[in-house]
Amino acid sequence: MDVRLRGYVRCSTREQCPDRQILALRGFGVPEEAIVMEMKSGKNFERPEYQKLVKNLKPGDVLVIDSLDRLGRDRDALVDEWRRITKEKGADMVVLDMLPLLDTRQKEHDLTASFVADLVLQILSYVSEKERLLNRERSAAGIVAAKQRGVKFGRKPMELPANFEEVREAWEREEISTSEAARRLGVSRPTFKRWIGKI
């Protein structure tokens, strides 16, 4: 049976560069045309290119990723996805930065290797999930601490234009409409109404 290498590259944001992942996959022997790339968060598996790739996996294919977090970040979903690929689809998985621990290609010949790969996956996915939750907690704690120090979040409120009082008085005398008042101040109607409500 011919072994087909398939590669998956994921970046969470457009600022992240996929080049390092692509070079690692090509260095392993994955053909350029067999590498699927997308810019999506790893919080779940609702990724169109990834789902298309997995759907087309055949028994004996090998899905290669640079690191486990490129596959996903949610521990339970990650383990379920690993099983879907290796058990249901009958494909193999290779995680380049965890070779030879996360490489299922020898699973049929070596039960211990298969057991170790599953065990390592469980441990790493737990650590990944724990780190994600810790980061979230640290961010929340940082925001609370910053607020206690008086740091303001969000956009800085717009200052009232110099002609605000003049326009407001004309609006109150019903000499101009809300739209005209907003136009004269160079803001939207909702902003003008919000300013009026605060005065």
Catalytic residue among 12, 67, 114, 125: 12
3-state secondary structure of 49: helix
The predicted pLDDT at position 150 comes to 82
Residue 22 belongs to a domain with what CATH number? Answer: 3.40.50.1390
Domain extent at residue 181: 164-198
**pLDDT tens digit string along 21-80?**
999 999 999 999 999 999 998 888 999 999 999 999 999 999 999 998 899 878 788 888
Residue 152: inside a domain: no
Dihedral angle sign, alpha carbons of residues 33, 10, 20, 106: negative
**pLDDT tens digit string along 102-113?**
888 876 556 776
**Better-scored residue on pLDDT, 181 or 147:** 181
12 annotated active-site? yes
Domain count for the chain: 2
Residue 158: inside a domain: no
Residue 18: inside a domain: yes
19 and 110 both lie in a single domain:
yes
Residue 159: inside a domain: no
101 and 171 both lie in a single domain:
no
If one counts every other C-beta atom within 10 angstroms of the C-beta of residue 83, the result is: 13
Check: CB of residue 176 under 8 Å from CB of residue 167.
Answer: yes
Residue 154: inside a domain: no
Q: In what order do the strands lie in the sheet with 35-39?
A: 35-39, 5-11, 62-65, 92-95
